[in-house]
Structure 1
Amino acid sequence: MRFILLVFINACAVGLSIACVNFYFQHSWQHFIITFAISFAVSFFAFYYLFQRYIYSKIKLIYKLIHNLKLGKDLKDALGEKMSDDPINDVEQQVRDWAKEKKKEIDTLKEQEKFRREFLSNISHEFKTPLFAIQGYVDALQDGMMQDDPEMATQFLMKASRNLDRLTFLIKDLDEISKLESGQVPINYQKFDLSPLIKEVLESMEDKAAGHQITLVFKEKYQYPMMVRADREKMRQVFVNLISNSIKYGKPKGHTDIKIYELFETVLVEVTDDGIGIEEKNLPRVFERFYRTDRSRSRKIGGSGLGLSIVKHIIEAHEQTINVRSTEGVGSTFAFTLEKANG
């Protein structure tokens, strides 16, 4: 429609111009009308042919190419594809949409590049710290400490062993994340009661919690069966990581509460502590690998810095979601869903 309108306007302009020139010399309205009609007709068909041959057909091809690119089709299919009635307008819209998509892709790539640099920096630091410590202890032992001060040498060996354990822990967690991301770790779905699993994890972590003066709470009202469909061992890992995290960042004489709720076709699980909390600006990044909201305190507490990232990957591998809400100085709540088992 736009194409015909464009040709009509141009033909009118040419016809009117020629007719006005003719009227100037002839001073006859009859000649004006005849000249306008003939000029309009000739111009209309000339413009129609020229626009169709050299402009409109090219726009149609561009539209088809852009349309096929967006759909991921072979460009060779563009020539045989049916067109819309208004390709000029469609080309404009397609180009706008394409530009928006490309801008989003560029922004995403920039964000990923920033994340990659931070990740390389973090992983370098995480490995460098224990390696340098081990190197220092080994150098001291090689310098004759075993003979000069056996007791101190024994302490150095124990410290070197702890740093080796940290390196092993780091490598294990990195390997776990790599396998989860690539889909190499299968999710072994099974139907099981969630409550006994939570109690098992709490019992296994009582000593650690007591060492930090943290009370683990799972109220009696959750004694009834809460059947879910998930990988039981993977969910054990999720609870261990989340509860361990709440203990690390909890306050002395504080509490960690585990709560479960039925939510339509899912079960909602919340792990809540009353610890130091997380600044609002850090909330979007807490599940990133090696990201620590309080680096100085995190180094003293220990851990690989990969626990929450592993948790997120496990939950997402179950096609479920996890989120965090927190207030600095008040505490944090990590909430995730699981598929409810029928029957």
Structure 2
Amino acid sequence: MNINFKKTYRFAVKSALYITLFSTGLVGFLTYLFFKFSYQFCLIFAFSIAVFSFIVIQYRVERFIYKKVKKIYDDVALLESSTFMNQPITTDMATLTREVKKFATDKKLEIETLKVREEYRREFLGNVSHELKTPLFMVQGYLSTLLDGAMSDKTIRKKYLERAEKGVERLIYIVQDLDMISKLEIGELNLEITEFDIVKLIENVFDLLEMKASKKDILLMFDMKYNTPIMVVGDHEKIEQAVMNLVVNSIKYGKDQGSTEVSIEDLTAEKVIVRVTDNGDGIVKKNISRLFERFYRVDKSGARTEGGSGLGLAIVKHIIEAHDEKIFVDSTFGVGSEFSFTLQKVKTKKQKSK
């Protein structure tokens, strides 16, 4: 550790002053009683005592306290606190106490953050393991059954191979989502910003998910008829995936014979807000803050029967935030949920001219 020693003379000066006053007063009093009193003698004596006391006290205190304080700094250096170690060593107790308290507070905060991260890491690994384990065991089970003799029956063979294929598809889906969310988090997934019609994009999502919605008799619809295009700026493919994930989520957790409604509204002169609303079961308030966590499921049992990777909403959040936009959730348990996000509107000729 590089030593940059910060001295403090206040203690030595005060101590020397007290000793000088006392010694000079005592000598002056004794001189007055037994000898002829001399101001010159008292001044020389006072100066000599002050200098001598200051040197002795400063040296002794400096050596004594410095050894103790240096040990504190050396012990702290083992913890590699860069902010603390950049400070010069000081023997001033008030400064030292303040620095050590700040160091302790920073370390406590760092430890608490590491504990949260460790807990999140354990939960994440557990969720990944569970999500991958289910389709893997399913594929293994069907293939083992075929190898054990069911291969000769053409009907069973076809059915089990088809089911095994679905398990493999789910594995691929989970891995692709994990790859995408990892790239989004570290900023490796580049956005291809273009201008596109958000109405047409949503209509395309409805077409792609029409069959999935019809299985639960859920109606996919706009809140009104949009006769003119609403041009926005963003990555067409990523925004389409975000809308698709939100609509899939509303279908997955929506009520049978329910509905999913999408609306597009002007939020400001430069922004629109896209709302995806369903009349499903809704979400309990305590769960709303965790909805965008990876693999977090409100319904731990029933959600997995619907399939999916458990990463849909996390991906939506990262896509929207990658566009420097905002995503919102509003849900009432037993009534339904609304997910909404903002997008930049294409500037008109009048706005561009300004």
Q: Do residues 9 (structure 1) and 1 (structure 2) align?
A: no
Selected match of 1:163 from 155, 163, 167: 167
Q: Do residues 302 (structure 1) and 313 (structure 2) align?
A: no
Q: Mapping of 1:130-145 within 5 angstroms?
A: 130-145=135-150
Q: What SS does structure 2 have at the residue aligned with 1:289? A: coil
The change in CA–CA distance for 1:237 and 1:44 in structure 2 (over 3 A counts) is same
Q: Do residues 246 (structure 1) and 256 (structure 2) align?
A: no
Give the Cα–Cα distance (whole angstroms) in 2 for the partners of residues 266 and 52 of structure 1.
Answer: 65
The answer for the alignment partner of 1:283 in structure 2 is 288
Kindly provide the CA deviation profile for residues 15-40 of structure 1, in whole angstroms up to 9, marking residues without a partner as x.
Answer: 23434554675567987974556544
The TM-score normalised by the length of structure 2 is: 0.76
User: More deviation in 251-260 or 21-30?
Assistant: 21-30
User: More deviation in 109-118 or 34-43?
Assistant: 34-43
The change in CA–CA distance for 1:42 and 1:337 in structure 2 (over 3 A counts) is farther
Structure 1 position 246, deviation (Å): 0.9
The change in CA–CA distance for 1:218 and 1:99 in structure 2 (over 3 A counts) is farther
Give the Cα–Cα distance (whole angstroms) in 1 for the partners of residues 231 and 13 of structure 2.
Answer: 72
Q: Mapping of 1:186-197 within 5 angstroms?
A: 186-197=190-201
Give the Cα–Cα distance (whole angstroms) in 2 for the partners of residues 205 and 223 of structure 1.
Answer: 22
The one-letter amino acid of 1:310's match is I
The RMSD of aligned alpha carbons is 3.9
Structure 1 position 298, deviation (Å): 0.8
Selected match of 1:217 from 205, 221, 233: 221
- Paired residues in the alignment total 326
The change in CA–CA distance for 1:221 and 1:144 in structure 2 (over 3 A counts) is closer
Q: What SS does structure 2 have at the residue aligned with 1:162? A: helix
8 Å Cα contact 2:84/2:103 also seen in 1? no
Question: Would you tell me which structure has more helix in proportion to its own residues?
Answer: 1
The answer for the alignment partner of 1:123 in structure 2 is 128
Q: Do residues 183 (structure 1) and 187 (structure 2) align?
A: yes
The change in CA–CA distance for 1:27 and 1:246 in structure 2 (over 3 A counts) is farther
Give the Cα–Cα distance (whole angstroms) in 1 for the partners of residues 84 and 8 of structure 2.
Answer: 26
8 Å Cα contact 2:224/2:263 also seen in 1? no
The TM-score normalised by the length of structure 1 is: 0.78
8 Å Cα contact 2:196/2:236 also seen in 1? yes
Q: Between the two proteins, what is the percent identity of the paired residues? A: 42
Structure 1 position 236, deviation (Å): 0.2
The one-letter amino acid of 2:263's match is K
The change in CA–CA distance for 1:221 and 1:134 in structure 2 (over 3 A counts) is closer
* Greater Cα radius of gyration, structure 1 or 2: 2
Q: Mapping of 1:1-343 within 5 angstroms?
A: 3=8, 5-19=10-24, 21-22=26-27, 25-26=30-31, 34=43, 39-40=49-50, 42-44=52-54, 69-70=82-83, 96-147=101-152, 149-220=153-224, 223-260=227-264, 261-263=266-268, 265-343=270-348
- Stretches of structure 2 that go unaligned for 5 or more consecutive residues are 1-6, 349-354
Q: What SS does structure 1 have at the residue aligned with 2:137? A: helix
Give the Cα–Cα distance (whole angstroms) in 1 for the partners of residues 192 and 142 of structure 2.
Answer: 43
Kindly provide the CA deviation profile for residues 130-159 of structure 1, in whole angstroms up to 9, marking residues without a partner as x.
Answer: 111122211221222233x54333322222
Structure 1 position 3, deviation (Å): 4.6
The change in CA–CA distance for 1:48 and 1:224 in structure 2 (over 3 A counts) is farther
The change in CA–CA distance for 1:188 and 1:115 in structure 2 (over 3 A counts) is same
The change in CA–CA distance for 1:156 and 1:233 in structure 2 (over 3 A counts) is same
Structure 1 position 50, deviation (Å): 7.7
Q: What SS does structure 2 have at the residue aligned with 1:263? A: coil
Give the Cα–Cα distance (whole angstroms) in 2 for the partners of residues 90 and 192 of structure 1.
Answer: 61
8 Å Cα contact 2:273/2:342 also seen in 1? yes
Kindly provide the CA deviation profile for residues 145-183 of structure 1, in whole angstroms up to 9, marking residues without a partner as x.
Answer: 233x54333322222221121112112212222222333
Structure 1 position 51, deviation (Å): 7.9
Q: What SS does structure 1 have at the residue aligned with 2:219? A: strand
Structure 1 position 306, deviation (Å): 1.2
The answer for the alignment partner of 2:3 in structure 1 is none
Q: What SS does structure 2 have at the residue aligned with 1:319? A: coil
